[in-house]
Each structure stands twice: as structure tokens, then as C-alpha cells.
Amino acid sequence: MQIAIMGAGAIGSYYGALLARAGHAVTLIGRAAHVEAIHHKGLMLETASGRETFEVTASTSVSACIEGRRAGAFLRQIHGYRNRRCSDGPGAV
């Protein structure tokens, strides 16, 4: 399933890594610095049992979920004070 996660900070990226590990195609929507790091190094999950790296799609724009395949699930993992801003449409992150 294609899954999009808006708010790819620590928690959103953690869930994204778990979903990618389970075989889902994940698109993370987050801040520019984090997205750039994912583009260069992949999404890394470090636990007590080791480190795993996942290839996921990452973007700063909600429109990344609209282009190509549509998401079967859309998770909003954002702080409450950002709800209004993120509902303003594509590119509002």
C-alpha cells in the first residue's frame, strides 16, 4: 500500500520506517533539511538490535502524494498548532 506521512519529524519518520520495513511504499512530507538528508542517506532506523536504512520518497510538498500514485493512507503526524497551516493545501508544510 502507498502511505503518505505529513510531518516527517522524529515520530513520523519512525512510523515511516516501520511501515517501509513491513513492505509499504512510503512518502514522507517534512522540512527541507530532513528531506535532503533522506535523499542523500535514506531513512535510517537505529534500535538496540542495529541500524536499518530504507528507501522512501521524501518531499517538502503535499503535492508529492498527488503526483504519480495516490496514497492509500494519509497520516498527519504534526503538532496541534500546525493543523491549520497544513490544511491550507499543497506546499503548506
Per-position pLDDT tens, the chain of length 93: 888 888 888 999 999 999 999 999 999 999 999 999 999 999 999 999 999 999 999 999 877 666 555 667 766 666 555 555 555 454 444
Residue 90's pLDDT is 46
42 φ/ψ sector (left φ>0, alpha ψ -120 to 50, else beta): left
Calculate the alpha carbon distances from 20 to 11, 15, 28, 93 in Å.
14, 8, 11, 22
Residue 82's pLDDT is 52
Residue 8's pLDDT is 85
**Domain spanning 2-86, CATH class:** alpha beta
Domain positions in the chain: 2-86
pTM: 0.75
